[in-house]
Amino acid sequence: MLALEPGETGAFASKLGAAIDRVFGRPKAVLAISAHSTARAPVLLAAAQHHAVHDFGGFPEPLYALRYDAPGAPDLAPAVAALLHTIGEAPQVSGQGGLDHGIWCMLRFMYPGADVPVLPLAWMPQQNPERQFAIGGALAALSAQGVLVMGSGSITHNLHRAFAGGRATVDAPEITESRQFRDWFARHGKARDWPALFDYRRQAPFAADMHPTDEHLLPWFVAAGAGGRDDAPVRLFEGVTYGCLGMDAYAFGPSAPRLAAAL
């Protein structure tokens, strides 16, 4: 619903693309890791042209009319595959295209002209946070090539909580469990407490409540791995919709503070 109810999150995302351009230059491509593109083994969706996939049901009709026809980045796929091979992954390269809503909803705000090539990486949600971080680490070299590694998910994500008893309002007050989980994540990220973050399922407050399944959180670890262990994650934006769907956005790596200052 972000696409139809942008609110403060949409306003932030609209500024984010311009800030990335100012600090780093326009990305040559976006490597996108989304909670909604998963597989049993890694797959690079290396089509020459993408379209918005409406991978949801029961939402307002105007949502299904939205388009995002971004170019693909097939020439980038072999380099990404080679990087993943260095850590023992065997990615497939597919000519299939399509951007799930976790990708196009954000990019419609960041780059509304749909003029930045996108390479989605379907990833493996059965792998633990530490392994997701290692996958991100293998992708770290892409930043020097002008490629933006973007993880898309939700820092808290319990749809049953959000819609129990009927659809909640987008500006519903945040529940305590969501606030405590988000604050724990921000605090341990700032401290670079990677062991605790990898073990969030056991250590974070209300972890299983805020993530009954954790596919919406794991892209955070891929993006964090691409930024490396030495620099603390920087929370660029914090917000909540429907009372318990966290919309926090983070930047990773040594230039994350510069990006925060540019927003």
Residue range 114-134, pLDDT digits in tens: 999 999 999 999 999 999 999
Distances (CA, A) of 77 to 24, 36, 72, 95: 22, 19, 10, 10
Give me the mean pLDDT over the 234-253 stretch: 95
Strands 245-246 and 147-152: unpaired
- The domain spans of the chain are 7-262
Q: How confident is the model at residue 146 (pLDDT cuts 50, 70, 90)?
A: very high
Residue 174 in contact with residue 240, Cβ under 8 Å? yes
Q: Does the pLDDT at position 76 exceed 70? A: yes
Residue 176 in contact with residue 235, Cβ under 8 Å? no
Average pLDDT, the chain: 95
Residue 211 in contact with residue 246, Cβ under 8 Å? no
Higher pLDDT, 118 or 162: 118
Q: CA torsion 255→178→102→16, rounded to 10°?
A: -30
Give me the mean pLDDT over the 234-251 stretch: 95
Q: How confident is the model at residue 205 (pLDDT cuts 50, 70, 90)?
A: very high
> For domain 7-262, is the CATH number 3.40.830.10?
yes
**pTM confidence score:** 0.95
Q: Does the pLDDT at position 139 exceed 90? A: yes
**Cβ contacts of residue 163 below 8 Å, gap of 6+?**
242
Residue 138 in contact with residue 86, Cβ under 8 Å? yes
97 burial (CB, 10 Å; 0-12 / 13-18 / 19+) is buried
